[in-house]
Copies of this chain bind each other. A is one copy, B any other.
Amino acid sequence: MARNASPDTRSNQDTRDRMFDAAEALFIERGFDGTSLRMVTTRAKVNLAAVNYHFGGKNGLFTAMIARRFDTLNDARVTLLDEYRRTAKGAPLACEHVLAAMFVPAMQLARDPRRGGRDFLRLLGRAYVDPSPTLRDFLAERYAPTLERFKEAFSEALPEIPRRELIWRLHFMMGALAYTLAGADTWRLIAALSAVETPTDELLLRRLAPFLVAGLRAPLPDFADPGAALAAEERPQRTARNSEARSRAA
């Protein structure tokens, strides 16, 4: 194999890429725990032991596979964020721009078959959502600086939101994003239930953006009044005991 190419680096790289591709596809479908090395190596048509040789084990393979995509994504994100900041010339960033700095690079990668293609966004979502401690720790540690940059940017773009509140909203945002991207199979369910079209990823993110912007800018919760945020909390229980009071609820 690869006899006319450069000595060994070529086939070497091919092997690694085939393993990456196989691991990626399987991980998207079945998660970290649900994917075995045998599945990966069978699909990649490489020997089982090659995993150990190239990556030192399952953890190494999967973290490297994820880093392959995420590093370029996050670099592009930070670059774009800096770009926006430069064009703003000292003016505070707009919330939409910060969001765009997160989304646009993701969309671009999703359009590039050589760097993830259609599956890229699903990989993104799965990775954030996977329960395996290995991946959680890896992601948290490796991308904490990027996350910090965006936290700063959002804080600048939304000065009216107290920092503490903002951090939680960013967390909610990550959740909506990750869950939505991960749930390609859920789309089918929703589509079946409601005769919705199956969306392109781009359309999806375009739908998600206004939702998130509005959420980030939402009025602050009122912790003083238990009934403000979620309507009356205990009231419905009381009506069970006292059916008279039921009629005058408002």
Contact = CB atoms under 8 A, between A and B. Distances in A.
Nearest to A94: B231
Contacts of A66: none
A86 B249 CA distance: 7
Interface string A88-101: 01000010110111
Q: Give the interface SS of chain A, mostly helix, strand, loop or mixed.
A: helix
Contacts of A168: 196, 199, 204, 207-208
A15 interface: no
Contacts of A169: 207, 211
A218 B214 CA distance: 5
A223 B203 contact: yes
Interface of A: 30-31, 33-34, 80, 83-84, 86-87, 89, 94, 96-97, 99-101, 103-104, 107, 126, 128-133, 136, 140, 144, 147-148, 151, 163-165, 167-169, 171-180, 182-183, 185-186, 189-190, 193-194, 196-197, 199, 203-221, 223, 229-233, 236-239, 245-250
30 contacts: A31-B31, A31-B33, A80-B236, A83-B237, A83-B249, A87-B238, A87-B250, A94-B231, A96-B229, A97-B236, A100-B231, A103-B230, A104-B230, A128-B179, A129-B131, A130-B131, A144-B189, A168-B196, A168-B208, A169-B211, A171-B186, A171-B190, A172-B176, A172-B212, A175-B176, A205-B230, A209-B230, A213-B218, A214-B217, A214-B219
